């Protein structure tokens, strides 16, 4: 008789919307088990919800892990860039793997559809931004097929309601992080990111368009490659949809995708928050698989 | 467990590159001078502080920091033997806490979100609840957080205070904004003033309405739990430790002056405000905490109003000239004028309070401190 | 009798850039800046049509980089102030705003969609920290009611803006709406209120006058109405009408007319008029800058531009969502054959 495969023990620091949605995804995961849900205040709605689900909770922030290091092997950090930078030296010392959902830019950048396997050797993987997760799989293909493409642009529009006070205060950081990641993955000289908030109701899903300036683009090759990578992304982000295949228009190549969320905790229109969470879970599950193989 | 944690954190801290501290090398002499000036000859008014343990929520803010400075001054120079515990939601490190307060054995730090407080340390005998941010930018961008911090925070703190075995006095830091807008014809607002205008249906009233509810909570706790509690209603202050990027006229004027540029007044300069210096604020706060009539509210602020135009001119003279002054926003038209002046006769007559630092000195000290501080950063 | 003055801000070299797909040259920038300066125009705004950092494949690449345009204007402006415009989400403090301030910009406008003012907090604060004259701008202001606009203006006021300008980016408003909205702001704000009209419904000057009568003290206009689609408020006309109404602007009318003639000769590619595209765009409440993109894409996909515009309006597209135009055209082309009668 074979024993059940042990799940990877994870902790989530940051009990806001992202952390709570991540918790719900963990509960559905076959290979992850959330051992602790950590925030700074027991009044946070996420903590109240986690407690109601019987998950162990704490309001001691990073101290919760310091005081019980054996509780988890992997930590999702959903706090803020500043806090993530404070947490990392401690978690590194404790030998934890960190999946960082803040723009702290500490660890190796991870886009599961592009470089998941290469990331598994790192102790800290960074999930970049929502716009990054949506666009980089496509930007990367453009970079492979047309290494001469010097400039790639990523425009994301999201529902106004899915952008809270923290997002609004840190738009500059979001743009700079996304641009840096696009440049790195597509290996292009220049990149630009644009973020638009749209208050229309009913709330709009996340929509991201990738533009590139390419002389003589091979549209057939691009279209095939794009369709393939979109399927790859859909494996971990079911709501990811290609709504405008590679198109030549006005001297530029453009591709548009839409992301609708699963609605695990956040509303479905918050595809922007969902995609980064789905990517984070995909990364964690890959780490879980390695562990299982080692066991 | 604790030593394990300490070893870990020490190892970790040695590896972290320290970020340049904005508060490093503060010329503490200015603060000490201010504290001495305000307590000299008035020690008896604060005698109730001797040997007590004071906890301040929101302790690392402007109000909390100044009160702490005053207390440690009384400890160092007059053997008051008081202890201060500062409670804050922030990460308590060299960026958020004045360095010379760290490492003192009469000052302790507690990191806690005020909304989730269930217990307060048993040795606390005096409590000041100052956890809230008066930054209007935050109120505009995050009204829900503003409301929750004040309402949930006040409720949690008072519930915990009600179970403290040795608690003697509590002071709730309310706000002058609870009065609503002061009508132009009204000279000043005393604590029983009820004629101000406030629109409860606007998100812009989130801070004021939450603070009003805060005072109602105080009254309810006093009634049900017999808590020995007073309210303090702060008006406007200026002094060291107050950030110049705060969206208030005097801060902006000083900052414009420090930049050597045009001092810009929004409107026609006829708006009237009054400003109390930080050391006076700290003294008044402690006096009200110790001796205010239970269940009463006290205005804290300067009763001497000044037109913004005059204020700008005063500040301009503090800098090597010529500093231009411009009225922005309205050209040749009548400005939208407003007033916010406290009537402080209750504090004066009942508690023997008085304003020690005149506005000119307040401005000079603040500019000096800011200049010394930015020099230290270079 | 007190003469109330109106502060004119002139975005001929910024909003006007839309009219030439952001291809203004150094000579054109310099020539107009000289003329506007001579006419006593208080603020001359320079840049890509969507502001600093907006040169992009999304809204159009500009011929000149931001710093080149700013430098050219800075060199020739003496009494007029140099203004810049930026939208957080397009531009950032590090890449765009700081360099522009270093180049000597005097007046800063930070804009957001009319319901998203809190995205401007950092940027307004940054410019204020440097002692600059900063205004907040609410774009597509036809899309929100007066009380919502007031709340958004109060946010900008708290961040340090010394005035807020309502932008009728779609040229969709009627004078009565303008009066109502401006009045609410003037009654409740301590800071100045301004209005920036577009001419899609032929009402730009009328709307500007209505705004002034309701208490706005800042008005925008461009020479010849140089701007996207049906153009902006025609500045020389506005100045003349204001003077006639007893509201002085400090601008020399003759020299303003000279500046307009210069634009007519050297900047305009075609006369500014209300085309069918612009009219439908105004009715649909769509950002004026979309017009040229819509025309081009409609031609490529062989669909009716009016269908695209009304769909954009139905979806409540905001400034910066030009990528939607292609997606809509593509969907329309797949769904139907093009209208037979047109």
ipTM of predicted assembly, 2 dp: 0.92
Do B16 and A168 lie within an 8 Å CB cutoff? no
Query: How many residue pairs from chains A and C have C-beta atoms closer than 8 A?
Result: 97
Q: Are C30 and C71 in contact (CB under 8 A)?
A: no
A204 touches chain C (CB under 8 A): yes
* Residues above pLDDT 90, as percent of chain A: 82
Percentages (nearest 5) of helix, strand, coil residues in chain B: 45, 15, 40
- The mean pLDDT of A215-223, rounded to a whole number, is 94
Do A90 and B12 lie within an 8 Å CB cutoff? yes
How far apart (Å, rounded) are the C-alpha atoms in residues C336 and C320?
A: 27
On chain A, the residues whose CB falls within 8 A of the CB of C319 are: 196
Do A157 and C320 lie within an 8 Å CB cutoff? yes
Higher pLDDT, B195 or A14: A14
Secondary structure E strands in chain C:
7-13, 43-46, 81-86, 107-113, 133-139, 163-167, 192-196, 218-220
- Closest Cα to residue B55, out of B122, B126, B118, B109? B126
- The per-residue DSSP string of A30-51 comes to SSEEEEEEE-S-TTSHHHHHHH
pLDDT at A172: 96
pLDDT at A4: 67
Looking at chain A, which residue has its C-alpha nearest residue B114?
A: A41
Displacement of CA B250 from its chain's centroid (Å): 15
CB atoms within 10 A of CB B24: 13
What stretch of H or E contains A293?
Answer: helix A271-294
Nearest CA to CA, how far is B271 from chain C (Å)?
10
What stretch of H or E contains A191?
Answer: strand A190-198
How far apart (Å, rounded) are the C-alpha atoms in residues A66 and A59?
A: 13
The answer, yes or no, to whether residue C337 has pLDDT greater than 70, is no
- The per-residue DSSP string of C36-101 comes to HHHHT-SEEEES-TT-TT--BTTTB--SS-HHHHHHHHHHH-SSSEEEEEE-BTTB-IIIIIHHHH
Catalytic residue numbers of A, as ranges: 130
Q: Are A92 and A62 in contact (CB under 8 A)?
A: no
pLDDT at B18: 36
Indicate the pairing of strand A97-100 with strand A124-126: parallel
pLDDT, one tens digit per residue, over C268-323 is: 988 899 999 999 999 999 998 898 899 999 999 999 999 999 999 999 999 889 99
Looking at chain A, which residue has its C-alpha nearest residue B139?
A: A165
A176 touches chain C (CB under 8 A): yes
Indicate the pairing of strand C218-220 with strand A206-212: unpaired
pLDDT, one tens digit per residue, over C45-73 is: 999 999 999 999 999 999 999 999 999 99
On chain A, the residues whose CB falls within 8 A of the CB of B9 are: 66, 90
Structure token pair of residue B134: 């008066």
pTM of the model: 0.88
What stretch of H or E contains B276?
Answer: strand B276-277
Q: How many residues does chain B have?
A: 378
Mutation to test the B interface, candidates C190, C218, C247, C249, most B Cβ within 10 Å: C190
Query: Residue A152 in 3-state DSSP?
Result: strand
Query: How many residue pairs from chains A and B have C-beta atoms closer than 8 A?
Result: 40
The residue assigned the tokens 């980064």 is: A276
Query: Residue A56 in 3-state DSSP?
Result: coil
Mutation to test the A interface, candidates B4, B12, B57, B87, most A Cβ within 10 Å: B12
How far apart (Å, rounded) are the C-alpha atoms in residues C227 and C288?
A: 9
- The mean pLDDT of C13-17, rounded to a whole number, is 96
- The per-residue DSSP string of B53-78 comes to EEEEETTTSHHHHHHHHHHHHHHHHH
Do C58 and A207 lie within an 8 Å CB cutoff? no
- Closest Cα to residue B238, out of B95, B366, B109? B366
Looking at chain A, which residue has its C-alpha nearest residue C125?
A: A169
How far apart (Å, rounded) are the C-alpha atoms in residues C329 and C326?
A: 5
pLDDT, one tens digit per residue, over A17-42 is: 999 999 999 999 999 999 999 998 88
On chain B, the residues whose CB falls within 8 A of the CB of C217 are: 330-331, 333
- The backbone region for A190, taken as left when phi is positive above 0, alpha when psi lies in -120 to 50, beta otherwise, is beta
How far apart (Å, rounded) are the C-alpha atoms in residues C216 and C198?
A: 16
CB atoms within 10 A of CB B86: 25
Q: Which of B202, B266, B331 lies closest to C7 in CB terms?
A: B331
C85 touches chain B (CB under 8 A): no
Higher pLDDT, C172 or B1: C172
Nearest CA to CA, how far is A167 from chain C (Å)?
9
Nearest CA to CA, how far is A79 from chain B (Å)?
13
CB-based contacts of B348: which residues, under 8 Å, 6+ apart? B354
pLDDT at B261: 80
Q: Which of B8, B118, B152 lies closest to A90 in CB terms?
A: B8
The answer, yes or no, to whether residue A104 has pLDDT greater than 80, is yes
pLDDT at B335: 59
Q: Are B283 and B347 in contact (CB under 8 A)?
A: no
pLDDT at A2: 57
On chain C, the residues whose CB falls within 8 A of the CB of B134 are: none
CB-based contacts of C18: which residues, under 8 Å, 6+ apart? C49, C227, C228, C229, C288, C289, C292
Do C122 and A247 lie within an 8 Å CB cutoff? no
Q: Are C260 and C270 in contact (CB under 8 A)?
A: no
pLDDT, one tens digit per residue, over A166-210 is: 899 999 999 999 999 999 999 999 999 999 999 998 889 999 999
Distance from first CA to last CA of chain B, Å, rounded?
41
The answer, yes or no, to whether residue C157 has pLDDT greater than 50, is yes
Nearest CA to CA, how far is A233 from chain B (Å)?
35
B203 touches chain C (CB under 8 A): yes
How far apart (Å, rounded) are the C-alpha atoms in residues B273 and C107?
A: 28
Structure token pair of residue B290: 């110790």
pLDDT at C24: 96
- Closest Cα to residue C124, out of C82, C69, C86? C86
Do B11 and A86 lie within an 8 Å CB cutoff? no
- Closest Cα to residue B300, out of B117, B133, B175, B195? B175
B7 touches chain A (CB under 8 A): no
Do A249 and C300 lie within an 8 Å CB cutoff? yes
On chain B, the residues whose CB falls within 8 A of the CB of C189 are: 336
Q: Which of C118, C131, C154 lies closest to B261 in CB terms?
A: C131
B110 touches chain A (CB under 8 A): no
Catalytic residue numbers of C, as ranges: 18
CB-based contacts of C270: which residues, under 8 Å, 6+ apart? none
Nearest CA to CA, how far is A77 from chain C (Å)?
25
On chain A, the residues whose CB falls within 8 A of the CB of B15 are: 89
On chain C, the residues whose CB falls within 8 A of the CB of A246 are: none
On chain C, the residues whose CB falls within 8 A of the CB of B264 are: 131, 133, 162
On chain C, the residues whose CB falls within 8 A of the CB of B247 are: 158-160
Residue A137 pLDDT grade (very low, low, confident, very high; cuts 50, 70, 90)? very high
pLDDT at B330: 59
Please give the mean pLDDT across all residues of chain A: 94
The 8-class DSSP code of residue C15 comes to: G
- Contacts of B219-223 spanning 24+ positions with Cβ under 8 A: B219/B295, B221/B158, B221/B159, B221/B161, B221/B162, B222/B294, B222/B295
Do A43 and B113 lie within an 8 Å CB cutoff? yes
- Closest Cα to residue C215, out of C191, C244, C249, C251? C191
pLDDT at B7: 59
Q: Which of A168, A175, A209 lies closest to C92 in CB terms?
A: A175
Structure token pair of residue A159: 């529902």
A168 touches chain C (CB under 8 A): yes
Mutation to test the A interface, candidates C21, C50, C60, C89, most A Cβ within 10 Å: C89
Q: Are C89 and A155 in contact (CB under 8 A)?
A: no
Q: Which of C296, C316, C317 lies closest to A250 in CB terms?
A: C296
List chain B residues with pLDDT less than 70: 1-26, 94, 329-335, 375-378
Q: Which residues pair with A257 in a beta bridge?
A: A208, A242
Q: Is the dihedral of CA B145, B149, B151, B155 positive or negative?
A: positive
How far apart (Å, rounded) are the C-alpha atoms in residues B378 and A254?
A: 48
- Closest Cα to residue B311, out of B369, B343, B270, B356? B270
* Residues above pLDDT 70, as percent of chain C: 97
On chain B, the residues whose CB falls within 8 A of the CB of C160 are: 247, 252
pLDDT at B243: 87
Do B330 and C125 lie within an 8 Å CB cutoff? no
Displacement of CA C324 from its chain's centroid (Å): 21
């Amino acid at each position: 008789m074979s024993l059940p495969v042990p799940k990877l023990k994870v902790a989530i620091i940051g009990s806001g919307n992202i952390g709570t949605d991540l918790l719900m995804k963990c509960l559905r995961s076959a290979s992850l088990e959330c051992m602790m849900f950590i925030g700074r205040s027991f009044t946070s709605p996420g903590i109240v919800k986690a407690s109601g689900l019987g998950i162990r909770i704490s309001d001691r922030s990073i101290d919760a892990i310091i005081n019980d290091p054996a509780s988890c092997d992997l930590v999702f950090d959903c706090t803020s860039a500043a806090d993530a930078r404070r947490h990392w030296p401690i978690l590194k010392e404790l030998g934890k793997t960190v999946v960082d959902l803040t723009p702290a830019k500490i660890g190796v950048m991870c886009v599961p559809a592009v470089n998941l396997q290469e990331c598994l050797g790192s102790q800290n993987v960074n999930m970049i931004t929502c716009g990054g997760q949506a666009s980089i799989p496509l930007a990367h293909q453009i970079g492979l097929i047309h290494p001469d493409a010097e400039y790639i642009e990523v425009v994301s529009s999201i529902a106004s309601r899915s952008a809270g006070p923290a997002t609004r205060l840190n738009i500059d950081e979001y743009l700079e992080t996304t641009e840096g990641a696009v440049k790195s993955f597509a290996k292009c000289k220049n990149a630009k990111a644009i973020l638009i908030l749209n208050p229309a109701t009913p709330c709009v899903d996340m929509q991201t368009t990738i533009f590139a300036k390419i002389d003589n683009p091979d549209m057939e090759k691009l279209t095939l490659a794009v369709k393939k990578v979109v399927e790859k992304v859909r494996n971990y982000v079911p709501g990811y949809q290609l709504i405008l295949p590679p198109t030549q228009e006005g001297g530029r190549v453009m591709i548009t995708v839409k992301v609708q969320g699963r609605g695990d905790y956040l509303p479905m229109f918050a595809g922007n928050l969902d995609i980064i969470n789905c990517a984070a879970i995909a990364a964690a599950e890959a780490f879980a698989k390695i562990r299982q193989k080692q066991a | 467990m604790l030593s394990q944690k300490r070893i870990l954190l020490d190892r970790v801290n040695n590896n972290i590159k320290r970020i340049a501290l904005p508060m490093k090398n503060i010329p503490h002499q200015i603060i000490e001078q201010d504290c001495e000036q305000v307590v000299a000859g008035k020690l008896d008014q604060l005698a109730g502080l001797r040997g007590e343990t004071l906890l301040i929520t929101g302790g690392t803010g402007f109000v909390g920091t100044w009160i702490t400075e005053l207390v440690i001054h009384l400890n160092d120079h007059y053997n008051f033997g008081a202890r201060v515990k500062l409670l804050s939601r922030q990460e308590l490190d060299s960026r958020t806490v004045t360095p010379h307060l760290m490492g003192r054995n009469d000052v302790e730090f507690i990191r806690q979100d005020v909304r989730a407080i269930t217990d307060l340390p048993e040795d606390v005998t005096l409590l000041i609840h100052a956890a809230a941010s008066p930054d209007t930018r935050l109120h505009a961008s995050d009204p829900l957080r503003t409301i929750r911090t004040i309402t949930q925070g006040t409720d949690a703190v008072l519930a915990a205070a009600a179970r403290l075995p040795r608690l003697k006095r509590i002071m709730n830091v309310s706000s002058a904004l609870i009065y609503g807008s002061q009508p132009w014809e009204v000279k000043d607002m005393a604590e029983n003033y009820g004629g101000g205008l406030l629109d409860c249906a606007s998100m812009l009233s989130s801070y004021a309405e939450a603070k009003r509810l805060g005072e109602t909570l105080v009254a309810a706790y006093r009634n049900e739990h017999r808590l020995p509690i007073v309210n303090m209603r702060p008006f406007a202050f200026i002094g060291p430790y107050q950030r110049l990027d705060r969206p208030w006229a005097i801060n902006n004027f000083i900052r414009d002056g420090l930049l050597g540029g045009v001092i810009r007044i929004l409107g026609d300069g006829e708006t009237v405000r009054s400003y109390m210096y930080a050391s006076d604020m700290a003294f008044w706060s402690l006096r009200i905490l110790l001796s205010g009539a239970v269940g009463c509210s006290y205005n804290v602020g300067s009763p001497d109003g000044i037109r913004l135009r005059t204020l700008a001119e005063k500040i301009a003279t503090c800098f090597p000239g010529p500093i231009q002054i411009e009225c922005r926003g309205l050209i040749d038209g009548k400005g939208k004028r407003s007033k916010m002046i406290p009537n402080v006769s209750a504090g004066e007559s009942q508690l023997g309070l008085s304003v020690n630092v005149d506005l000119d000195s307040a401005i000079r000290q603040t500019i000096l401190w800011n200049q010394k501080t930015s020099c230290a950063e270079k | 009798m007190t003469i109330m003055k109106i502060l004119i801000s002139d975005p001929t070299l910024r909003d006007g850039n839309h009219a030439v797909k952001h291809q203004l040259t150094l000579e054109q920038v310099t020539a107009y800046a000289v003329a506007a300066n001579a006419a006593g125009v208080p603020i001359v705004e320079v840049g890509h049509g969507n502001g600093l950092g907006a040169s992009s494949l999304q809204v159009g690449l500009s011929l000149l980089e931001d710093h080149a345009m700013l430098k050219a204007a800075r060199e020739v402006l003496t009494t007029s102030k140099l203004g810049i415009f930026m939208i957080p989400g397009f531009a950032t403090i590090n890449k765009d705003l700081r360099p522009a301030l270093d180049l000597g910009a005097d007046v800063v406008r930070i804009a957001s969609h009319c319901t998203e003012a809190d995205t401007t907090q950092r940027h307004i604060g940054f410019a204020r920290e440097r002692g600059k004259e900063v205004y907040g701008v609410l774009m597509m202001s036809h899309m929100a009611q007066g009380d919502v606009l007031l709340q958004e203006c109060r946010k900008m006021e708290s961040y340090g803006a010394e005035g807020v300008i309502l932008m009728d980016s779609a040229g969709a408003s009627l004078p009565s709406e303008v009066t109502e909205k401006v009045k609410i702001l003037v009654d409740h704000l301590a800071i100045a209120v301004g209005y920036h009209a577009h001419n899609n419904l032929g009402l730009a000057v009328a709307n500007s006058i209505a705004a002034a009568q309701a208490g706005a003290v800042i008005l925008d206009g461009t020479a010849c109405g140089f701007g996207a689609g049906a153009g902006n408020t025609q500045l020389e006309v506005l100045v003349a009408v204001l003077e006639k109404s007893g509201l002085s602007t400090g601008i020399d009318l003759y020299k303003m007319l000279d500046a307009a003639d210069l634009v007519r000769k050297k900047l305009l590619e075609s006369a500014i008029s209300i085309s069918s595209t612009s009219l439908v765009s105004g009715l649909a409440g769509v950002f004026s800058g979309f017009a040229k993109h819509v025309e081009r894409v409609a031609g490529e996909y062989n669909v009716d531009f009016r269908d695209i515009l009304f769909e954009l309006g139905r979806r409540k597209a905001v400034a910066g969502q030009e990528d939607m135009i292609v997606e809509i055209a593509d969907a329309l082309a797949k769904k139907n054959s093009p209208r037979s009668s047109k």
